[in-house]
Chain A
Amino acid sequence: MAEHKLVIIGGGPAGLSAAVAAVDAGLAPEDILVLERDSEPGGILNQCIHAGFGLHRFGEELTGPEYSGRYIAMARERGIPILCNAMVLSLTDDRRVTFVSPETGYTTIQAEAVILAMGCRERTRGALSIPGTRPSGVYTAGCAQRYINIEGYMPGHRVVILGSGDIGLIMARRMTLEGAKVLAVCEIMPYSGGLARNIVQCLDDFGIPLKLSHTVVQIHGRDRVEGVTVAAVDEANGRRPIPGTEEYFACDTLLLSVGLIPENELTRGAGIDLDRMTNGASVNQFRETSAPGVYACGNVLHVHDLVDYVSEEADTAGRAAAARILGNAAPVVRSVKLTTGHGVRYTVPERIDLAEEPEDVRIFFRVSDVYKKVRLVIETGTGEILVNRAKSAVAPGEMESLTIPASKLAQVLRSGEEEILVKLTETEGR
């Protein structure tokens, strides 16, 4: 069986950043293989032609292709091999990777380290069980985005969008600029999941109505979508449609932006532990999963809002994978579990593996609701405060992070604490 020191599954921003970081941490580029299933690297950013990427990472406002273009250039400069049109079919927890590509055929390789960077897929109409007919013209927002930005065709002309997440908002603007009429964006929650900036620049700018606490209850049309029925939902009754509030929109296209699901079929197949809240692998601060030598980063680990944080996370994974291969990873003395308290939906990492001399650990997390005037708190199981930060506003759609300083972690190591809690406290009524 062929061997490879580091195999990276996915050549999008996460995979490429990880590859670059691994080389910069001392791994030889020829010891790396990036496997990318599309015909070119760059991942989903290739079709995210809008701007807003790289503000933190590069101090510039770049479009998606420009952002991944930077990492493609960095990877090429370092001579990192990227195999395109390559699909990984299976992974084992002892790092055997089976993949297929037109160039190399059907192959299994044994890796010393694997980085999972497969990104995510979109939730579908089928998963929502939206009743009605099954005409053409029902697309996930990302699929429509591919048609328009990669293939150069219009997915439709009169559009209703379900879901006010960023992809739906971005597509509302994109379609409008290309001459389509976007009739409404419906959002089942009482608040939008997208960035405020996108509400302004994608909806308000074009007078597109945002219907909060609304959903699509039926799709009409025999061959192509002819219309959708929209209804208000009862927030106090399981968000069920309220009879009598139905409204019909004649349209030829329904776009769905109703959630992203990390693509962890390979991860599951390898028997690696997943976190139910993120739908991604459960990891330590180096992004190592429950399978030694298998790391995860980017959207496959948890759905990010900013690709800048994806690159940061991928750096961590790339450096850790390199350290493992080069034999200079610090031995783990004790593991501490991270738990979520009031107002916090999940944390990444889910555990911290403490070395003799711990380093700062940055915790990423999402809150479970919209809150104003809170304190974000990280404390030990016995109530010792590690971090306490005031914030004027937090929302589920905007990932938060806090750094636990090395000194505090050293204390935790000495004290024998087994658990660290991340929570928020409300300093004012909502």
Chain B
Amino acid sequence: MLYDVLIIGAGCTGVMTARLLSAKNVKVAVAEAGPDVATGATAANSAIVHAGYDAKPGTLKAQLNVRGNRLMKELCAALGVECKNVGSHVIGFGEGDLPMLEELLARGRANGIPDLEIIGQDRLRAMEPNVSPEATHSLWAPTAAITCPYGITIAAAENAVTNGVDFYFHFRVTDASRAGDIHYITNGTETLAARYVVNCAGVHSAEVAAILGENDFPITITPRRGEYFILDKAVGGLAHSTLFVCPSDRGKGILVSPTVDGNLIVGPNAYPIGDSDDRSTTAEGLAEITAGARRIMPDIPMNMAITSFAGVRSTPNQYDFYLKASDQIPGVIHAVGVESPGFASSPATAEYLVGLLEEAGLALTDKPDYIPTRRRDGNHIQWNRLSEKEKAAKCRENPAYGKIVCRCETVTEGDLLDMLDAPIPAVTIDMMKKRLRAGMGRCQGGFCSPRVAALIAERTGHGLDEINKSGPGSWLVTKREEA
């Protein structure tokens, strides 16, 4: 099968691009090294749809963040993913921080962001009673929002599959060749052929560029890790909007924010690492983000942490995103060095990449029978987000929705079965977790994961020993020893 477009990488950038192309009359494939969409930085970031004042005016970051902020909200509404317009504060501690706040305000205005203002201590404290008494000012950006970054990426991917996009998982690109204007991309066992290739490989995008045949590629990626804590929903109300401190040359810094599900997220720090796939947390790193959180909110109850994790940024050797058609290889588009505000920008970045494809010669006509929802029959909202009446009705209609499997997050058997039936079937613990939050509550899967695993095993005709947590090699259990 010859694809019109092969996208390498199923993070938010690659998936949003696939989704836009799925509305056109082109055959699209996405090759992803991991076992699911959104397994890289898309699943391990602050989950903020940035307002866009931070990015320097005139850059792609600025242009795409501002547009992405608007598009993300529309997309979440269209696909039934929650997005809360909570706003954000960049907090200043004393007069010394005012110049930076003013600089950000100026940038924001230049970038066209509405309703930005610098507010004083009284108003800040009225809006955020738990903020440090040392906080004197803030830049208030009412258009910043929070959502679930892997949630919207999964929704967009389902929408893409519903409209004919093929996803290839466990497809780590190892080699590439060309014959005429056809690209052959292989993982060693399987080869995909496409007329155009879009490199959205995140932290591996520079490596992929080299594999695709780029010589003297101008971008090198330095993987930079950031660690996070998630705090229990019981304390999720301690912050009403995202709380930043002034940015530095290392980035936006350690923040405290509510999450769209009602938890509190704290982090990230930022430091370079050697192995771009190493997503360990460290004692020093967790201590660092604890200290950072306490600066913003001295009484933050860090003993209410329910989990911690780390993500790895693709930091390029330039300020801006590198979004360009290849100089050397016709038909190749690169999206390299997409770090913050990569997620917030992604719906707009997708538009930009589609534009580059058109410039490169790809003819795009609209698909008349395009389906705007995740599945043919709608968006499939999970049971715990329905109203009381709808919940009762759903239980009557299908008793599987009356059986709770994950009690911390109120996930029903009906929801799990639904996800086994999804355009990208959820067949691992982590896939169910990312789609339904099963296992993300206070007990961290202690109660539900054997039950979720047993359900997946039963419905897919496998033994429990064949079910994985995430990728191959992440087995949960083995058969008992024969005598």
Contacts and interface: CB of A to CB of B under 8 A. Distances in A.
- Label chain A's interface by main secondary structure: mixed
Interface in B245-297: 277-283, 285-286
Given A154-B481, A178-B480, A124 B444 contact: yes
12 contacts: A102-B403, A106-B388, A121-B446, A122-B443, A131-B280, A151-B450, A155-B476, A155-B477, A179-B481, A217-B283, A218-B280, A224-B475
Contacts of B229: 129
Interface in A214-252: 217-218, 222-224, 241
Nearest to A139: B446
A160 to B, nearest CB: 17
A124 B280 contact: no
B286 A103 contact: no
Contacts of A147: 450, 464, 476-477
- Label chain B's interface by main secondary structure: mixed
Contact of A127 (B306, B392, B449): B306
Contacts of B56: none
Interface stretch (B10-18, B93-101, B137-145, B466-474): B466-474
A101 B402 CA distance: 4
B86 to A, nearest CB: 24
B403 A223 contact: no
A306 interface: no
A341 B404 CA distance: 43
A89 B281 CA distance: 34
A102 B280 contact: no
A103 B402 contact: yes
Interface in A62-103: 85, 87, 89, 100-103
Contact of B474 (A85, A87, A136, A217): A136
Nearest 8 CB-CB pairings of A with B: A126-B307, A223-B473, A136-B469, A102-B399, A153-B477, A87-B404, A106-B392, A223-B474
A241 to B, nearest CB: 8
Contact of B279 (A100, A134, A148): A134
B125 interface: no
Contacts of A103: 399, 402
A153 B480 contact: yes
Interface string B83-116: 0000000000000000000000000000000000
A223 B471 contact: yes
A135 interface: yes
B343 to A, nearest CB: 21
A135 B279 CA distance: 10
Contacts of B476: 136-137, 147, 155
A134 B471 CA distance: 12
B308 A126 contact: yes
A37 interface: yes
A375 interface: no
B479 interface: yes
B328 interface: no
A152 interface: yes
Given A131-B280, A153-B479, A102 B308 contact: no
Interface residues of A, number: 50
Nearest to A98: B388
Interface of A: 37, 85, 87, 89, 100-106, 121-122, 124-127, 129, 131-137, 139-140, 142-143, 146-148, 150-157, 178-179, 217-218, 222-224, 241, 265, 268
B395 to A, nearest CB: 4
B465 interface: yes
A135 B308 contact: no
Contacts of B307: 124-126
Contacts of A265: 442
Contacts of B63: none
B67 to A, nearest CB: 34
Nearest to A256: B446
Contacts of A223: 468-474
Contact of A135 (B402, B464, B469): B469
Contacts of A122: 443, 446
Given A121-B442, A143-B446, A143-B449, A127 B470 contact: no
B172 interface: no
A89 B309 CA distance: 29
Nearest to A150: B450
Contacts of B281: 129, 131-132
Given A153-B477, A154-B477, A223-B472, A106 B402 contact: yes
B312 to A, nearest CB: 12
Contacts of B446: 121-122, 124, 139-140, 142-143
Contacts of A154: 477-481
Contact of B286 (A129, A143, A151, A152): A129
A132 B280 contact: yes
A241 B287 CA distance: 14
A425 to B, nearest CB: 32
Contacts of B468: 136, 223
B391 A106 contact: yes
